[in-house]
Structure 1
Amino acid sequence: MTERADVLLVPPAVAPDGDDPLTHLLFALKHEGMNLQAAILALKKIPAQSVAQAFQRSPSSGYARIACYLWEIANGQRLEDLPPAVGAYEKLFDEASFVTDRTQRDSRWRVDFNGIGSPSYCISVRRTPALVAMLEADVLGQVEEFVSSIDKGILDRAVRGAYLSETDNSYAIEREKPSASKAEAFANLLSRAHDAESISESYLVALQNLAVSNPLDQADGFRGEQNRLRNEMRGALGVTYLPPPPELVQSVMDAVMALCNDRESKIDALVRGSLASFAFVFAHPFMDGNGRLSRFLFHKVACADPRLANGLVLPVSMAMKRNERDYLAALQSFSKPSRAFWDVTFISDDQIYEDFRGQPEIYRYWDATACVEFGLRMADEALQRDLRQEMDFLRRFDVVYQAINDAVDMNNNDLVLVARTIAEKGDLSNNRTKQLIAKGHDPALVRAAIDAALEALADMDEKGDG
């Protein structure tokens, strides 16, 4: 067999004979690995008798036992009058190929469920080379090591800066500029990421009311109507994503909340944070505010890891804003295929009718590999670029501020502006210098301030503290 991109080439001598769906499913389980959504959907259409006969022919076959195990999940029925399963326990997901969690053992079929979530809601994450490399980089370990080397006073200021940048960029992703009250509300929301409170519907409703300032858009529970995402195009083509129908929202959200609250999980905290964030936004349980809350949930889940201590959050929204095209691609890895299962009839901008032709399983069993890869990349970028640069800026600012303050007598407002500019840019522009002189500062005083700042920075860089 030969793998090429998304295709597995099978020699005719190896390929299954005939068109029997179960034969093809068993062949796929053996040679292609687990695609849980496809397996569940296929088994909903395969008669119980076919699965039972395959098992009776070989009660020790791991693939036959997995087929029986999944058939009962898919159909909500029990296969009766069969001999006991025998043989070693079979793991549902190959641990070398997938990110797996702790085992939930099924003694009837001798199958170990080791997926992310539960048998009724399971997210798949493939161990691609890129994902494995990012896990081995151990971003949270790097965060812990970096933070341990930082003065607590600077760390506290960096935390406040991270809240501010995370607030601004979380709104900016949605093309909004928050008012002062909105920004303060969302920053207060971020401060709750380290709380130990479990996530529930009432908890999420309270957060949604904080994140959404318009009383008309504030929720009192999960939505009971169909939501949709639209772009600038008119007509049905303008509807880009349709989340689960209202009757599925509660069951999907119960699973998402269980994922968020599972502190016994053995999965990397940043992987879990990415999963929680994307699972929430794909469920879209509210009519407004879902994007902001999804990014908050990343922090809520990731911050359960003790290596993110002292109230610190990784400013991932800043990284996402710089990588919006990749963020959209991660979202579309789920939204595009699921959109194909909806018929949309456009009457007018205010009259759009949606008909879900798919199966609930598309919202319960999905592949989050692209989403997790993106989430890990953004966490790493937030550390390497944003957090480290912020800490470096604060150290440089303190050195410059002190040097200017010791050298000249300048009012605090101008002193801060000059120190911030030189710390950021390494010098003061001619234009800014002229502005200070125009305000009444003596040219010699301004020059002395600049010289003192540059000398302090040079000394700092020479010592290797910059």
Structure 2
Amino acid sequence: MKSVGYAWLLESLQLSAFPLRRPAKVQPVTRIKWIGETLAVPASIAPAADDLLAHLLFGLKHEGINLAILAQALPRIPAAALEAELAKAPNGIYLRKACFLREAFTGEPLHQHAPVRGTFVPLFDPAAYVTLPGERNSRWRVEFNGIGTLEYCATVERTPEVVALLEHGILARAQDFIQSLPAAMMDRAINWAYLHETQDSFAIEKESPSEDKSRKFIQLLRQAHERLPLSEDYLVALQNATLSNPFDRAGAFRHEQNHLASGLQGSAGVTYVPPSPDLCRELMTQLMVLANDAPARIDPLVAAGVISFGFVFLHPFMDGNGRLSRFLIHQTLCRAGALQHGLLLPVSVAMKREERLYLETLQEFSRPAREFWDVRWIDHGQFAFEFTGDPAIYRFWDATAGVRFTLEMAKRALEVELREETAFLQNFDMAMRAVNDSYDVRGSDLATLVMMCLTNNGTVSKNRRKQFLYSVQPEVFDYIEQVCRALLSEQQGEQPVDD
């Protein structure tokens, strides 16, 4: 099957870009339509095999905006070819978009035979993409409304999954839920969220934080509510606060190449290589500008997903990038004013439970990016890296998967993690009161037994009975089980209400 549009550009020009998820192909159809994950195109309307501009305009019209491909393909189109088409159709929407982007990517002005007329057109279709309020270019009457700039831009498609999650109103539901709790219960639920967000963020990195590390990270999470803007100094301070090894602490964004590795030996074990130090620092400047601006202009959870995954793909430090990327979800939501009363959505708790899905989401970018690096093993822990691709793969990236995952984890953090912990605390309080009303048991012993019983499906284990044999009467164990089982049974019998 002959490729069309972006797929043709990718193959014919041998561009550096990730494989297309939905390529256009010539197929025996009578009209352009989707067949599975392929855009089927009738042979009668497919661009000619050697018409670069026609394939590019086809992609713009039927496949949306792929800046990584456009940034590499447009400079290959002679200015004369675009100017000839302008003479025929000076107000063509997709031609105007192509001219606007070519001038932006090359700095070479195109000759207009007549001024462009008509209304401004958005570069990204707002019905197909999440967009920012645009900046207008009066020369081509095109509005750039991407998430970022033409130096660094993320795209987020309005897939059915993303749209459904956005319509769920996760942040408003979280705020309503936490405000519905009694003040004391609210404080306990939030304290639980801070502690477990810290523990599970470290656990994802296969670390068990010391008490000092945990305390410092919790302080960082609470400081996010101060809404400080991102800067290199601020991120360096955050990175230093999360690490205990003084040799791993940074003074600035990295000046050497880093990488991620599996347990395999040699270059085969290198699983991801982020951009070179110079490109990383340039793109981090762009990302920080976006992080300080976007949360107030698009859905905060979309901004959080873009900033968090964008950060971890740039990997600006030699260590600590993963924890900071998850912290940036919280920081972005706070900067948007989306979390009040010190609320924290424990997304790392949800991510830890969905660790495989988290890894798969990261690999949607890391695996194809790895293909553009020639890695040569020198000695243990030492490699030579040669980038064989184009900076466009890091500069213009598809954040849809990362945003979808962030939305899913925020939803789970609210509807599973926070709600389950709050229900646990409520059951704990009721069980403590019920047992205290009937028996005289030392408070610390009772608290331990009730907690263990509730987490063990209403059973006090034989080991716990032996442990407290000489401080708790035998009938108290049975009564604790009776109370906890009744509470758990009542909880399980409740039907969830969609509020």
Quickly name the TM-score band, shorter chain normalised.
over 0.9
Q: CA deviation at 1:78?
A: 2.8
Q: CA deviation at 1:454?
A: 5.8
2:323 corresponds in structure 1 to 292
Separation in structure 2 between the aligned mates of residue 452 and residue 378 of structure 1, nearest angstrom: 33
Task: Return 397-406 or 455-464, whichever deviates more.
Answer: 455-464
Separation in structure 2 between the aligned mates of residue 67 and residue 367 of structure 1, nearest angstrom: 20
Task: Return 209-218 or 348-357, whichever deviates more.
Answer: 348-357
Separation in structure 2 between the aligned mates of residue 256 and residue 400 of structure 1, nearest angstrom: 49
1:212 and 2:243 are equivalent in the alignment? yes
1:351 corresponds in structure 2 to 382
Match of 1:97 among 128, 133, 155: 128
For the 8 Å contact 1:422–1:453, the answer to whether it is kept is: yes
Alpha-carbon distance change, 423 to 42 in structure 1, aligned in 2, over 3 angstroms: same
CA deviation string 1:178-232 (max 9, x = no partner): 1221112211111122122111000000000011111000000000111111111
Alpha-carbon distance change, 433 to 81 in structure 1, aligned in 2, over 3 angstroms: closer
2:259 corresponds in structure 1 to 228
Q: CA deviation at 1:459?
A: 8.5
Task: Return 224-233 or 39-48, whichever deviates more.
Answer: 39-48
Separation in structure 2 between the aligned mates of residue 188 and residue 341 of structure 1, nearest angstrom: 39
Separation in structure 2 between the aligned mates of residue 459 and residue 48 of structure 1, nearest angstrom: 73
Q: CA deviation at 1:292?
A: 0.2
1:56 and 2:50 are equivalent in the alignment? no
2:446 corresponds in structure 1 to 415
1:270 corresponds in structure 2 to 301
Alpha-carbon distance change, 57 to 398 in structure 1, aligned in 2, over 3 angstroms: same
The number of aligned residues is 466
CA deviation string 1:301-345 (max 9, x = no partner): 022344421111111111111112211111111111211111111
Match of 1:15 among 43, 46, 51: 46
TM, length-normalised to structure 1 = 0.94
Aligned residue runs from structure 1 range 427-442, under 5 A: 427-432=458-463, 434-442=465-473
Task: Return 299-308 or 279-288, whichever deviates more.
Answer: 299-308
CA deviation string 1:265-312 (max 9, x = no partner): 432111111111000000100000000000000110022344421111
Q: 3-state DSSP class of the match of 1:262?
A: helix
Query: Over aligned residues, Cα RMSD in angstroms?
Result: 2.3
Q: CA deviation at 1:62?
A: 1.0
For the 8 Å contact 1:342–1:356, the answer to whether it is kept is: yes
Separation in structure 2 between the aligned mates of residue 295 and residue 138 of structure 1, nearest angstrom: 21
Task: Return 235-244 or 46-55, whichever deviates more.
Answer: 46-55
Alpha-carbon distance change, 11 to 460 in structure 1, aligned in 2, over 3 angstroms: closer
For the 8 Å contact 2:453–2:480, the answer to whether it is kept is: no
Q: 3-state DSSP class of the match of 2:363?
A: helix
1:123 corresponds in structure 2 to 154
For the 8 Å contact 2:295–2:332, the answer to whether it is kept is: no
2:17 corresponds in structure 1 to none
2:211 corresponds to which letter in structure 1? A
Alpha-carbon distance change, 451 to 63 in structure 1, aligned in 2, over 3 angstroms: closer
2:217 corresponds in structure 1 to 186
Q: CA deviation at 1:89?
A: 1.1
1:29 corresponds to which letter in structure 2? L
Alpha-carbon distance change, 460 to 239 in structure 1, aligned in 2, over 3 angstroms: closer
1:238 corresponds in structure 2 to 269
For the 8 Å contact 2:154–2:399, the answer to whether it is kept is: yes
2:120 corresponds to which letter in structure 1? Y
1:400 corresponds in structure 2 to 431
Identity of aligned residues (%): 44
Task: Return 87-96 or 207-216, whichever deviates more.
Answer: 87-96
2:141 corresponds to which letter in structure 1? R
Match of 1:29 among 60, 71, 84: 60
Match of 1:369 among 374, 382, 400: 400
Match of 1:168 among 175, 199, 205: 199
Separation in structure 1 between the aligned mates of residue 324 and residue 427 of structure 2, nearest angstrom: 34
TM, length-normalised to structure 2 = 0.88
Match of 1:249 among 277, 280, 297: 280
